[in-house]
Structure 1
Amino acid sequence: MPRAPLRRILVLDDFGNAAPGSTDWSGLPVAFLDQKLDEDALAARIEAEGADAVVLIRERSAFPASLVRRLPGLRLVVTTGMRNRVLDLEACDAAGIAVCGTPSLPSPTVELTWGLILALARRIPQQERLLRQGGWQQGAGLGLEGATLSIAGLGRIGAGVAAIGRAFGMRLLAWSPNMTAATAEAAGAELVDKETLFRRADILTLHLGLGPSTRGIVGAAELALMRPGALLVNTARGPLVDQPALVAALHGGRLGGTAIDTHEPEPMTAGDPIRQAPNTILTPHLGYVTQQNFRQYFEGTVECLRAWNEGIPLPRPLNAAAKA
């Protein structure tokens, strides 16, 4: 069945105004929104613009069934990347809305993970602030060679993190609910049980997907297993960690520090208690935010939009409506 060309396209949540310069949008009726809107405001804006296509930058704005039902004029959703846990694909299918994904790179999150590990282990932010205040070195950081890196999850990102850990000469332990010994061995890691992963870690880094079985998988009991001074890094999903338990562990002084790139909600609220916790490095979900990755995202987005307008099969379809 022929498709009418798109009348209006909205790119949502382009906080850093990265999308316009990342690819050639010429000929497309596109507008870029640079602020996050709640569901009511987002529905009103999409309707007011007469938008029949929206572009989601990762999981910045949720697109649940309740929102989909309020958008009878919507025909196409493009989500950057190939997975989006806050986009209801079944609701889109029921409404006849096609959903496409885009290419993405795993390396940006691997790189950020190691930036955070190094900054946390060597106390770079604290030492830099001290120097600017007229002081000099204070305390000693953790060297990586010979230290134990515990990795929860060995998908593309976790395996990439493991490869760099090996280059630093670290001992690698790995665990996830369904990990096999062969998977761990392929990454140069030793498969251990969950308790051992926490108990032996000098640095624990999280690379698990978020679902009912993993939400809060790092809680008070797990944090209590960690040796005094151990470090926790989370570039995966904020809700993997029970935040009140984490804040308590930081204030109690048992945990040596944490670096967190993912939060809930996002953007982080002004009163979030993690802001006041000691020994923290907090970044605003930068794991995927590189020029090269945005180029992948938005070149793939434009490919989907042009395919729609040209009436050819949509690349990287994510639901049945996109394959029709």
Structure 2
Amino acid sequence: MTMTPEQATWFAGTFDRLVQNVGLAVLGKEHVIRLTLMAMISEGHVLLEDAPGTGKTSLAKAIAATVQGTHQRIQFTPDLLPSDVTGVTIYDQDTHKFDFHKGPIFASIVLADEINRASPKTQSALLEVMEESRVSVDGVTHEVGRPFLVIATQNPIEQAGTYRLPEAQLDRFLIKTTIGYPDLASAEKILAGSANRNPSSTLSAVITTSAVADMADLAATVHVDPAILRYTAQLAEETRIAPESRLGVSVRGAMALIRASKVWAAAQGRHFVLPDDIKELAGPVWTHRFVLDAEAEFSGASAEGVLARVLADVAAPQSRQPAA
């Protein structure tokens, strides 16, 4: 069943109310809020590469409050163990049974702060939960629930004592973006309200977590024309054969762009995806998946530059294409 125009109108109105509510705590960052909410409803995850103090924790808390969900913050350090993230099974001497004590990953919104400071083993434990949406401990599987959004952060300035995320793990993040510093007007408002150190605590919930799951299911029914699918496949292929690329966009990356574009279209009141949706989301969904040739990168090439050229070279579809 395909989403109807009436359902698309409801989806867009609800999405706008979510954005406005989160925007009360994270001022002047509507586009980043939209991208993050899109990732949540797409059932993907977000990688934020930003300097400290730009509002990453406030964003996670505000989203959790808006959808009536739970929030946990995990500070990643070199000595953090996988069980510190996922949880551990402990023997109860009173009941003579093993009880599973859930870790902080069992929350609606999880902020994984400075993920590249943890060991690769701990990073892998987190990324496995992100991919599977469940935790397996001692042969028992525990579902994390819906919605489940991980907002992982990296500090682009300080790299001492960090473990770089491998390309295969970066590929599991739906989008990579940055919050950045606020504009002057927003900075003034933030300073005026500095007495309240936790603005998200004053937010009221707009919808429930079950309603978010319903929105995710509804967004999956947005129509994608075969011409859009071919266009996306052509773009992905061009990133792989670009002379600057050692590794282009994977099939998982192409599927992620289609999934994100469905939510993006519905958030604008449409029950179908346009080529412009693909173009607008290609940057945040794809650029972190590129691996450039070392010589090309040394010569000044960038993932953003390669993608911009690919988008310019591949003609967007102008009409519908009959299904194969």
Same fold flag (TM > 0.5): no
* Structure number having the greater helix percentage: 2
Per the shorter chain, which TM-score range? Answer: under 0.3
TM-score, scaled to structure 1? 0.22
- Report which structure shows greater RCO (CA 8 Å, sep ≥6): 2
